[in-house]
Chains A and B, each alone.
Chain A
Amino acid sequence: MFSRVYAIIIKEILAIWRDKKSRAVLIIPPLIQLFVFAFAATLDVKNVSIAILNRDMGKASFELIQRFKGAPTFNHVRYLEGVNEIAPTIDQQQAVMVIHIDEQFSRNLYAGKEATLQLILDGRKSNSAQIVQGYALTLIDQFSRDFAHEQGFPVQPTMLIGRNWYNPNLLYYWFNVPNLCGVLTMLVCLIVTALSVARERELGTFDQLLVSPVQPFEILLGKTIPAIIISLIEGTIIIVAAIFFFQIPFTGSLLLLYLSLFVFICSIVGVGLFLSALCKTQQQAILGSFVFMSPAILLSGYATPIENMPPWLQTVDLINPLRYFLVIVKGIFLKDMPAHLVFANTWPMALIAAFTLTGANWFFRRKLE
């Protein structure tokens, strides 16, 4: 039996490698996604355009505005002439935030009285707007305290010293790239397994395989193992890129990472085989993978946190293997996650793997008969 399975494994790997189409699909999209996502997909806010309507003539407002101009986050500052310009500026998305300083600003400040300032933000991008607001508030608060200090006014203890663990500078790609390890491995794994049977059916070689002494179980093994190998390689490439090219710190255990990666891949392979048994053509298999992957990725905590989802959806998400793996991969990279926490996230994947692999096996055999 082993020699038969071995023959199939070699054949699978060669078939994928030597087929230009498969090769392209395995290399190009993941690479593109790695680089684009790593650099482009960020919820971070930079290079923000803002506009200022300053109706005050005093020194204080000038000071404040200088601080805004000097901040790296706000790189584009326009000056408005009148209140009627605020609406078009926001409406036409020429600025995310308009700072409206009234005529009494400096006077009030020098008198030690409360001075008001209006911030108008474009709620169309509520996430970025809130973050921009946060930056603005911090800036204004700093100015406020400095001014009070200068003028000898009593000072408010409003400066919060916060620390960010594991990623002190909140670099977005430290979050993105480890996540991509999970997502891209899943992508490759799914495509390889989903295509495997469908391709043979399309080419007509599947019958040849079925007529030989090979048992259905051996065919499954013969297709599962290459998929696992290729996926592990893909995962490794990204891990290596993350550590050496992107210079992301790796604080945890490599062994634990590979162990959990292996279990993760097993759970995905089952889904892929299931799809493969179902689909008659390669193109159906690709569409099917896509249909499965979109929800899996969207609900995995990759783009948006799981805790933001409604509770009932969070429960449904418990069967998504990617969510567990993303916790592990970020944990091992950035947090030096201890073994017991890694296992806590691995056993659900193992359970899912057992389920999908058995299901695929059963479904496969039924289809063959």
Chain B
Amino acid sequence: MTDKGGLRRVKALIIKEFFQIIRDPSSILISILLPLVLLFLYGFGVSLDLNHLRLGLVLEENTVDAVSFAESLSNSPFFEVRRGSDRRELEDLILAGKIRGIVVVPSYFSAFKKRQDNIAPIQVIADGSEPNTAAFVQNYVLGAWGKWLLQEKINQNLRGLPLVSVQPRFWYNEELVSRNFLVPGSLAIIMTLIGTLLTALVVAREWERGTMEALMATPVRIYELLIGKLIPYFLLGMFSMTMCVMVAVFIYSVPLRGSFWLLGLVSSAFLFTATLLGLLISTLSRNQFVAAQASIVTGFLPAFILSGFIFEISSMPLPIQFVTYVIPARYFVSCLQTLFLVGNVWPLVLSNTMYILTFGLILLVITAYNTVKRLD
């Protein structure tokens, strides 16, 4: 068959696929509804920013200093303070999870001025069952104490300034809003759902319904079949991606400091790879049930857990860190967070894109090898 025949066949297959997408509710569900729901969840539901750290406070002393410190805590925008009359009462609350920490201003508080040691005369108890929050409790209260101390020194002209004063600067996301890195990262998950899960399901369904069989008995070539499947879902994914980026930027006010075109380029590379993974899964399994499971286990879960999107890769045990090197989503997440919050950091973006494409090419070779025009 001439090349022209091939082009025509591919075009026919793509058109067929589009009609099927339009008429099939599950495709619309996964490519449009599900991303919006997930974006909503990641935009509002999942947040690592502590708005109001709920603390309990016990004043065992009623001096001017004690009250002043207590008030500085209550007035701080970081805390939501509940006064308790004694520890016991607050212990119940921390047990129930209603507060995440207790600050005790002990009876020997005001004596601190006369002391020479370096231990702050307050006790902080944090709920260790929420380790992340507990760390924040300790850090924030220490910060509040340091601030109060400084204020006191200035007011009372005491000697002894802190020796080393630290100027922290947070670059890219100065407001420290977790949404700004969670939402871009979540785009990787959404693209995996469309690229891998949807594609795998759709192709497996074609095997199950027997239409694949009829196609194979025509002069159509293997790679034409592959391309005919790849392109529509790729385009659908890009459409969905654009929609999601719009939502992220205009509704969630996540800054997009990099160029839209570079974002598009990187997304294309990732979508290419994700779609190929879906194709490979469906070619090997030829069964919707297995395809769904495999997509979730090899596509979605790694994208969620091991991509660095929410859980820090460097904190994982070494063997698992090695595993993350073969997960395309890891590279994509890094690019996304950079392109949104930083800008066009060419070395980083290009090298990551190269990695993603390499995976894509490997998958392409494996898939092509396994897609023979035969039923066994």
Chain A residues at the B interface, C-beta cutoff of 8 Å:
21, 24-25, 28-29, 32-33, 36-37, 39-49, 64, 88, 90-93, 109, 112, 114-131, 133-134, 136-138, 140-141, 143-145, 147-149, 153-168, 170-172, 174-175, 281-284, 286-287, 290-291, 294-295, 298-299, 303-305, 307-310, 313, 327, 330-331, 334-335, 337-338, 341, 344
CB < 8 Å neighbour of B46 from A64, A126, A144, A304: A304
Contacts of A153 in B (CB 8 A): 160, 163
CB < 8 Å neighbour of B124 from A119, A123, A163: A163
Complex A-B, nearest 9 residue pairs according to Cβ-Cβ distance, in ascending order: A167-B128, A123-B173, A154-B160, A164-B128, A134-B139, A162-B124, A123-B170, A308-B47, A170-B131
CB < 8 Å neighbour of B181 from A93, A124, A294, A295: A124
Stretch at the interface among B214-222, B268-276, B288-296: B288-296
Contacts of B166 in A (CB 8 A): 116-119, 136-137, 140
- Contact at B315–A47, with CB atoms within 8 Å? yes
List the A residue with the shortest CB-CB distance to B122. A160
A124-B173, A124-B342 known, 5 other contacts, Cβ within 8 Å: A43-B311, A49-B314, A126-B173, A136-B166, A162-B138
Bound CA span A364–B161, Å: 72
Contacts of B342 in A (CB 8 A): 91, 124
CB < 8 Å neighbour of B44 from A134, A287, A310: A310
Bound CA span A133–B171, Å: 13
CB < 8 Å neighbour of A118 from B145, B167, B341: B167
Answer yes or no: B38 CB below 8 A from chain A CBs. Answer: yes
Cβ distance A332 to chain B, nearest Cβ, rounded Å: 11
- Contact at B135–A170, with CB atoms within 8 Å? yes
Contacts of B122 in A (CB 8 A): 160
List the B residue with the shortest CB-CB distance to A119. B168
- List the count of A-B residue pairs having beta carbons below 8 Å apart: 320
Q: How extensive is the interface on chain B, given as a class?
A: 35 or more
Bound CA span A47–B100, Å: 27
- Contact at A286–B293, with CB atoms within 8 Å? yes
Chain B residues at the A interface, C-beta cutoff of 8 Å:
26, 30, 34, 37-38, 41-42, 44-52, 54, 94-97, 100, 112, 115-139, 141-143, 145-146, 149, 159-174, 176-178, 180-181, 201, 288-290, 292-293, 296-297, 301, 305-306, 310-312, 314-317, 320, 334, 337-338, 341-342, 345, 347-348
List the A residue with the shortest CB-CB distance to B160. A154
- Contact at A304–B149, with CB atoms within 8 Å? no
List the B residue with the shortest CB-CB distance to A90. B171
- Contact at A344–B149, with CB atoms within 8 Å? no
Cβ distance B194 to chain A, nearest Cβ, rounded Å: 13
Contacts of A117 in B (CB 8 A): 164-167
Contacts of A64 in B (CB 8 A): 164
25 pairs, A vs B, C-beta closer than 8 Å: A33-B301, A36-B320, A43-B132, A43-B315, A91-B338, A115-B163, A115-B164, A117-B167, A118-B166, A123-B341, A126-B178, A134-B139, A155-B116, A155-B117, A156-B162, A160-B138, A161-B120, A162-B141, A165-B127, A290-B296, A291-B34, A298-B45, A305-B130, A309-B45, A341-B96
List the B residue with the shortest CB-CB distance to A167. B128
Known: A119-B169, A133-B168, A344-B96. A159 touches B176 (CB 8 A): no
Contacts of A334 in B (CB 8 A): 128-129
Known: A126-B176, A308-B50. A157 touches B95 (CB 8 A): no
CB < 8 Å neighbour of B289 from A29, A283, A330: A283
Contacts of B171 in A (CB 8 A): 90, 120-123
- Contact at B38–A160, with CB atoms within 8 Å? no
Contacts of B341 in A (CB 8 A): 123-124
Cβ distance A83 to chain B, nearest Cβ, rounded Å: 13
Bound CA span A255–B177, Å: 42
- Contact at B167–A157, with CB atoms within 8 Å? no
Contacts of A129 in B (CB 8 A): 170, 176
- Contact at A39–B172, with CB atoms within 8 Å? no
Contacts of B173 in A (CB 8 A): 123-124, 126
Cβ distance A296 to chain B, nearest Cβ, rounded Å: 10
Bound CA span A163–B124, Å: 6
Chain B CB within 10 Å, residue with most, of A109, A120, A130: A130
Bound CA span A38–B246, Å: 35
- Contact at B314–A24, with CB atoms within 8 Å? no
Cβ distance B271 to chain A, nearest Cβ, rounded Å: 21
Cβ distance B46 to chain A, nearest Cβ, rounded Å: 5
- Contact at A155–B160, with CB atoms within 8 Å? yes
Contacts of A299 in B (CB 8 A): 41, 45
- Contact at A337–B95, with CB atoms within 8 Å? yes
Bound CA span A49–B49, Å: 23
- Contact at B315–A123, with CB atoms within 8 Å? no
Known: A160-B122, A309-B45, A335-B129. A40 touches B311 (CB 8 A): yes
List the A residue with the shortest CB-CB distance to B174. A123
Known: A91-B338, A119-B169, A155-B160. A304 touches B317 (CB 8 A): no
- Contact at B129–A175, with CB atoms within 8 Å? yes
Contacts of B338 in A (CB 8 A): 91, 93, 124
- Contact at B164–A170, with CB atoms within 8 Å? no
List the B residue with the shortest CB-CB distance to A336. B95
Chain B CB within 10 Å, residue with most, of A123, A168, A291, A341: A123
Known: A117-B164, A170-B135, A305-B133. A287 touches B26 (CB 8 A): yes
Bound CA span A354–B48, Å: 33
